Structure 1
């Protein structure tokens, strides 16, 4: 049985500085294959402002929504599609997590209905021939904003933190976000919570504003346009949310502020990668408590071994349900520990090992260019990390059917 999952994502044009989510996103877009079904949907839903009717199936929807903004409600036709679940998986790659998906098709079995609505995350399914009455009774509440709205369908949070300063946690977070986008075709948010002295923006050659600080300190001021104002396009599907406050700034982030930001990001992105400062305060603990994965970056040294053991205990103490993934960065660095001693010190081998890259990583950071582009060893290591996080088969370049569909209630 497949795990519960839902259809995410929208594709802005980063090259033109497109917004994460257009303020005038369509209220409803319908893709149906036949005229009779279209007539029943029109009659059952009545006049919906901003509605768009298009002829085609779920495959057509995938091609169109790769280039257009995700609507609030999407109706797709799976009639004649050999593998509707695979087609819905592809649709997951081009929609935001907050889209409400309704499906029409030809199959009438109750088992199929239960599977597609309970396990795939589709909000409702109707089999043909459609009637105006059934559309009005079962589809209209979802289009009007009612229906089954109680499920949590947001993206998953991955917290990246260093055992201590200087082990390369920000480098891992930045390049992991880019690798997740490339391998899973997901929309990815990179949230840098180092409000003073953060390096994510510098590594990406990006300019950020003070919007993140305001949102963290005064969450009541965060509105639906927050992401449009503060998120910086890095690539087609990656957005950076960061700040560069002066060292003398008296920054006072709140737990409520970070929770609100995470909730908003999870509704717009499939993956939220958070660069978490250590040691953690209330804000950082709130992130750890909601993370599905905690990537703990360490170096091949005694201090990292000590702090890694302590950090694992701390993550457990926060009540985080997330799995801790230990990344050893800089293996082979002259004068540092071999992997055998590191494994003995932390009670087992690290899940991911990155070799020492003394030229490539500093050069990339100074140029404001992601190291992933020029470092095959880093790419290979991050492919393994991406596989751990997103359940993708990176060796073949294929995506797992479960990888991009999020469980109800998951972070």
Structure 2
């Protein structure tokens, strides 16, 4: 019998074509529909930046391009000729990092439209056509000047935090967190971070076939040492749109994450990622509670047994304290031999689980041992996980990997 052993490595074939985090990130890209607007932008911003990239095509072209390319620091898009500008901007937000500064040009000269874009949708500035060199320099120039000086404004958008934790040990919460993050990145084309807070004995890196880097423990214990390059140093690329932030502390160590450190790490991640999926240990300490308070959605994973039913009821009550987030219950390994039937679990919980993942005794262990993404090894897991992905991100996940575009991601508000 041949035994295959997974050897951890710094990067797998999943990371081919991965986007740079910050170093090679474009400064300014403009997507414009007509030559006259291109000329006005080029002449008006020539003295403001040397890195301006002009591309023909409006917001639709921008959406298509940024599904594959890194998000620039400043993005100028043409929304003229688009029937539903708000919907198009929502689709654009789904494929851009939250920290991007978006400037827009269009044909509508209505003050109500301007206020909707800048006050409700988070667009930095809007300018209507015809564009002139003077108007472009006067309205858009200051944003580029701040970006060139390294002092661009902080976007009012922020990534959404999703906390995944097991009602008790062995329920498979890490498996759900890893594959949820993978499917989110795949079907939404958004930027996703997977944060593993099991500082000792975490398995997210093993499941993805990568070795966690250094820095997470230091960041959580000493937030003052976290600088602007923290994500570059600590996050590991897993595919083009997913990054893993994890640790492999020795078992004899005693990590002491602080609330300040947790909030600092979370703030950095929410500036750069549309979704932050967290594999959260239970019961949480003070630092983990700070993250739980920031979570937009909380996913409780249980197994098909009596102890999980008891602990799920307690976990849901705990998760609901002090906040009103969305609490999603996931039954994992449903139908496993010797376990409770789903009907008995529903009676014990008092309601049906929101998502049911069937028992997959061959695919999941094999994928984990080989360091491969279980989502790509098991069509059954992909289908079962699709409703959870849709609930988390408002995206329709298809078994073939294609999806409709995300909505509700361009707007004000924090991660909570």
TM-score, normalising length from structure 2? 0.88
Match of 1:390 in 2: 393
| Whole-Å separation in 1 of the counterparts to 2:35 and 2:359 | 61
Shift in alpha-carbon separation, 1:137–1:52, aligned structure 2, 3 A: closer
| Whole-Å separation in 2 of the counterparts to 1:270 and 1:151 | 13
Match of 2:310 in 1: 306
| Whole-Å separation in 2 of the counterparts to 1:70 and 1:316 | 35
Which stretches of structure 1, 4 residues or longer, exceed 4 Å deviation after superposition?
Answer: 42-46, 146-151
**Structure 1: runs of 5+ lacking an equivalent:** 1-12
**2:363 aligns with one of 360, 363, 372:** 360
Shift in alpha-carbon separation, 1:398–1:119, aligned structure 2, 3 A: farther
Give the alignment of 1:115-154 within 5 angstroms. 115-145=116-146, 149=153, 152-154=156-158
Shift of 1:395: 5.2
| Whole-Å separation in 1 of the counterparts to 2:391 and 2:45 | 43
Shift in alpha-carbon separation, 1:72–1:400, aligned structure 2, 3 A: closer
**2:277 aligns with one of 265, 273, 286:** 273
Shift of 1:139: 2.3
Match of 2:22 in 1: 21
Shift of 1:83: 4.3
Match of 1:76 in 2: 77
- Are 1:100 and 2:105 counterparts? no
Match of 1:240 in 2: 244
Shift of 1:204: 0.7
Partner of 2:320: helix, strand, or coil?
helix
| Whole-Å separation in 2 of the counterparts to 1:403 and 1:183 | 15
Match of 2:60 in 1: 59
**2:255 aligns with one of 251, 269, 274:** 251
Shift in alpha-carbon separation, 1:339–1:157, aligned structure 2, 3 A: same
Shift of 1:35: 4.1
Match of 2:49 in 1: 49
| Whole-Å separation in 2 of the counterparts to 1:148 and 1:240 | 26
Shift in alpha-carbon separation, 1:273–1:128, aligned structure 2, 3 A: same
Match of 2:286 in 1: 282
Post-superposition CA distance 1:154-200 (Å, at most 9, x none): 11000000001000000000000011111211111000000000010
Partner of 1:337: helix, strand, or coil?
coil
More moved, 347-356 vs 396-405: 396-405
More moved, 390-399 vs 154-163: 390-399
| Whole-Å separation in 2 of the counterparts to 1:400 and 1:69 | 18
Partner of 1:54: helix, strand, or coil?
strand
- Are 1:334 and 2:342 counterparts? no
**2:164 aligns with one of 160, 165, 177:** 160
Shift of 1:30: 2.3
| Whole-Å separation in 2 of the counterparts to 1:310 and 1:136 | 58
Partner of 1:161: helix, strand, or coil?
strand
- Are 1:399 and 2:404 counterparts? yes
Partner of 1:74: helix, strand, or coil?
strand
Kindly indicate whether the alpha-carbon contact (under 8 Å) linking 2:97 and 2:273 is maintained by their aligned counterparts in 1: yes
| Whole-Å separation in 1 of the counterparts to 2:254 and 2:123 | 46
**Structure 2: runs of 5+ lacking an equivalent:** 1-13
| Whole-Å separation in 2 of the counterparts to 1:182 and 1:300 | 29
| Whole-Å separation in 1 of the counterparts to 2:134 and 2:340 | 71
Partner of 2:283: helix, strand, or coil?
coil
Post-superposition CA distance 1:13-43 (Å, at most 9, x none): 9315653222x53332223333443444355
- Are 1:200 and 2:204 counterparts? yes
Kindly indicate whether the alpha-carbon contact (under 8 Å) linking 1:163 and 1:296 is maintained by their aligned counterparts in 2: yes
Aligned length: 397
Kindly indicate whether the alpha-carbon contact (under 8 Å) linking 2:99 and 2:155 is maintained by their aligned counterparts in 1: no
| Whole-Å separation in 2 of the counterparts to 1:85 and 1:406 | 11
Kindly indicate whether the alpha-carbon contact (under 8 Å) linking 2:49 and 2:144 is maintained by their aligned counterparts in 1: no
Shift in alpha-carbon separation, 1:331–1:406, aligned structure 2, 3 A: farther
| Whole-Å separation in 2 of the counterparts to 1:258 and 1:167 | 25
Shift in alpha-carbon separation, 1:230–1:395, aligned structure 2, 3 A: closer
Kindly indicate whether the alpha-carbon contact (under 8 Å) linking 2:96 and 2:190 is maintained by their aligned counterparts in 1: no
Kindly indicate whether the alpha-carbon contact (under 8 Å) linking 2:333 and 2:359 is maintained by their aligned counterparts in 1: yes
Match of 1:370 in 2: 373
More moved, 399-408 vs 68-77: 399-408
